Amino acid sequence: MESGQASRGQFVIVIMMGPPGAGKGTQAQRVAERLGLAHLATGDLFREAMARHTELGRQAESYVKRGEYVPDQITLGLVRERLSQPDAQAGAILDGFPRTLEQARGLDRLLAEKGATVDKVVYLDVPEAELARRLGGRWTCRRCQAVYHEVFNPPKTPSVCDVCGGELYQRPDDTPAVVQRRLEVYHQQTAPLVQRYDAAGLLVRVRGDLSPDEVTEAVLRAIGDW
């Protein structure tokens, strides 16, 4: 693919996979911007709905707080809705979805209705010890969801987002006990998806433990290389 825009002239779907803390959010946001695709992050959508106290937010809250997955049907409904919005016309980078086999099957059905399929799955590989370290010092923008780290990627001004000036906060599910639970749930439920997409010849592994810019370039190369 040429850099700058999605060039396949159809609905492009790239899945960004990896454990919590691998850098999916940061990379998906950058890559979506570079390729002119929507950034569809189910975790961000759940947090927004919770902050606005919508019906979806109420349904998701108890799961998100415990580090458990929101039920598949609720999650699939959310993704269907988001993919029908105007900024997703050319397609999307999926960040944090699908996370279960049922969600992956649901995604295939949903895309089939549009005559589309998953184009590529990028797996961000980061050693486990590094994940726990990253999640510990993570700060997130309340407004635009940009992610910082107090040691590895600090904002220019403490507590203020470089991108939009929004306030930075620490996600309540980034506490050590919930981080541990999120890593466990990931290994039980999401790791099997890696095998599924690998068997389908769609998976490409990218090292996620390099600098954010190096990872972005590696992801773009991996996507362009279909």
Query: Should residue 18 be labelled a site residue for ligand AMP when binding is judged by CB under 6 A?
Result: no
Query: Should residue 43 be labelled a site residue for ligand AMP when binding is judged by CB under 6 A?
Result: yes
Q: Which of 34, 47, 99, 134 is flagged as catalytic?
A: 99
> Is residue 82 among the annotated active site residues?
no
Which residue of 64, 118, 121, 219 would you call a contact of ligand AMP, by CB under 6 A? 64
Distance CA 162, CA 154 (A): 10
The runs of H, that is alpha helices, within 54-127 are 55-66, 72-83, 101-113
> Is residue 24 among the annotated active site residues?
yes
Buried b or exposed e, range 172-208, using 16+ CB within 10 angstroms: ebbeeebbebbbebbeebbeebeeebeeeebbbbbeb
- Shortest reach from residue 40's CB to ligand AMP, in Å: 10
Q: Which residues have CB under 8 Å from 56's CB, separation 6+?
A: 46, 49, 74, 78
Span from 59-67, 120-128, 130-138, 156-164 in contact with ligand AMP (CB under 6 A): 59-67
Which residue of 1, 10, 63, 160 would you call a contact of ligand AMP, by CB under 6 A? 63
Is beta strand 138-141 parallel, antiparallel or unpaired with respect to 168-169? antiparallel
Structural contact between residues 206 and 15, judged by C-beta atoms closer than 8 angstroms: no
> Is residue 182 among the annotated active site residues?
yes
> Is residue 171 among the annotated active site residues?
yes
Nearer CB in complex with ligand AMP: 44/119: 44
Nearer CB in complex with ligand AMP: 69/148: 69
> Is residue 34 among the annotated active site residues?
no
Question: Angle at Cα 32 formed by Cα 26 and Cα 37, nearest 5°?
Answer: 155
Query: Should residue 20 be labelled a site residue for ligand AMP when binding is judged by CB under 6 A?
Result: yes
Catalytic (active-site) positions: 24, 99, 138, 171, 182
Binding site for ligand AMP (CB under 6 A): 20, 42-43, 46, 63-64, 67-70, 75, 96-97, 99, 103, 173, 182
